[in-house]
Structure 1
């Protein structure tokens, strides 16, 4: 697995597992825990979650899976990269440490590798930054970052310091808005972009144009869409999957090599943006 260097130091895997919509139903919990265990067995080492997902339920699912995997000796904690996110209404100086403590308790961990502001809300970015820095100093998180912040917000944040490690946004072959200004801005600062919904919540699996191109590689359209995201410099991807077949297909996509001609074909199907537009969010 390739790794990306985080802005300011450290690194994270280029491919991880997203957990959006996990932890919402007790009837699905066993299957979701099993999916995360399977992901770890396959080789996933980056797991992304948030206090918003299932109102803490996804963190509990991840926590149970991690506890079982660590107890079984399937993986070592130092080999994992665990990410969670704080609600905007918890992003005050006093709210961030409390939210982090609740997330850590649900995850059964004493430290997060990366902690993100989920999106911008009413609290000043300076307050959120100060609270995040305090968590780093206390050893409760390794690095901090943001999610769903566009270029103007990132410039405001950068004026406060250069220790924001990453920004997580919606980015896919069909949703290329970040390429106009945000992605170049982050690349210039060595700040990775974490792409959520890199297969458009599965929609790109049915893209006829991608299916035709994927046949040249002996791959699926979904794998091609994911490989395209991973081929973008400075970008990591965190597709959500529960079925073991999807977990394996996604992991295999990280090994697909896309040459210039294939990339050009995808550009013709889904062109890069020619003007600035608001970031997509789900």
Structure 2
């Protein structure tokens, strides 16, 4: 099983995403069951945010994790840009912790850039880490210029991870962001790693080569897409599903290794970028 080391902890390279979870009351039982099935299958990372459903996702996650041993989990949440200030961040974090039914986060991410000076945000994240309410902090939706700016700040290089959109149909990170992160030993957390089931027209699940590779390994298409995302070291994928079966298959993808020939065939279908592209954000 592929693993990733984040903030000093080694975790399986497939985690559990929760965007959109908690939004539909009639899906609540299915969503809780899916999260619990993912943990039973070996996942350790659960990723959420105060933005997701205006806190409903965090509340759902808190309920789903209520019977789990806290030390076995790696829990991530995110602060909104408007709350990433000295005046508001701790109250925002405290609200997340209450919803999640925990007294600390393993990783707290600055969700995306806003109007609060980055230096102020970093100072407050460092203070909250010192307080013990978060064990590490990081950023999300940061491009190379943002990362350069962060690293130039005092203690900016203490960031433990960057979470960006990344999947086979959206490879902009391959040109600049991923090389930068490898050079600076900053892990990537890939959100929407299966392109939200082709919701944005990437046609990954209908591609003949993807289907052939899945058939050759006797696995589902989404497992191939996830195995591609985590093909490089220090990349964690956080797919979201409300299906117990799909969740178990997602977690199993951490044990799937694509061959050099298969990766080359996927490169032909979905070419690596040859120039800097704008950061994809959902």
Task: Provide the TM-score with structure 1 as the length reference.
Answer: 0.94
Deviations 1:209-235 (A, max 9, x none): 311222221222211111011112221
Q: 1:44 to 1:6 in 2, by over 3 A?
A: closer
Residue 129 of structure 1, aligned match among 122, 134, 145: 122
Q: CA deviation at 1:194?
A: 0.3
**Is the 1:49–1:85 Cα contact (8 Å) retained in structure 2?**
yes
Q: Runs of at least 4 residues of structure 1 off by over 4 A?
A: none
Q: CA deviation at 1:5?
A: 2.2
Partner of 1:27: 26
Partner of 2:243: 243
**Structure 1 residue runs without a partner (length 5+):** 71-75
- The number of residue pairs the alignment matches comes to 275
| Separation in 1, partners of 2:217, 2:37 | 26
Q: 1:251 to 1:267 in 2, by over 3 A?
A: same
Question: Which structure has the higher relative contact order (CA within 8 Å, separation 6+)?
Answer: 2
Partner of 1:194: 189
**Structure 2 residue runs without a partner (length 5+):** 199-203
Partner of 2:201: none
SS, match of residue 254 in structure 1: helix
**Is the 1:207–1:221 Cα contact (8 Å) retained in structure 2?**
no
Q: CA deviation at 1:164?
A: 0.6
Whether 2:44 is the aligned partner of 1:45: answer yes
Q: CA deviation at 1:31?
A: 2.0
Q: CA deviation at 1:35?
A: 1.7
Considering only aligned residues, what root-mean-square deviation do their CA atoms show, in Å?
A: 1.3
The range that moved more, 205-214 or 42-51, is 205-214
The range that moved more, 196-205 or 235-244, is 196-205
**Is the 2:75–2:105 Cα contact (8 Å) retained in structure 1?**
yes
Whether 2:154 is the aligned partner of 1:155: answer no
| Separation in 2, partners of 1:207, 1:147 | 29
Q: CA deviation at 1:192?
A: 0.3
SS, match of residue 47 in structure 1: strand
Whether 2:94 is the aligned partner of 1:95: answer no
Whether 2:136 is the aligned partner of 1:139: answer no
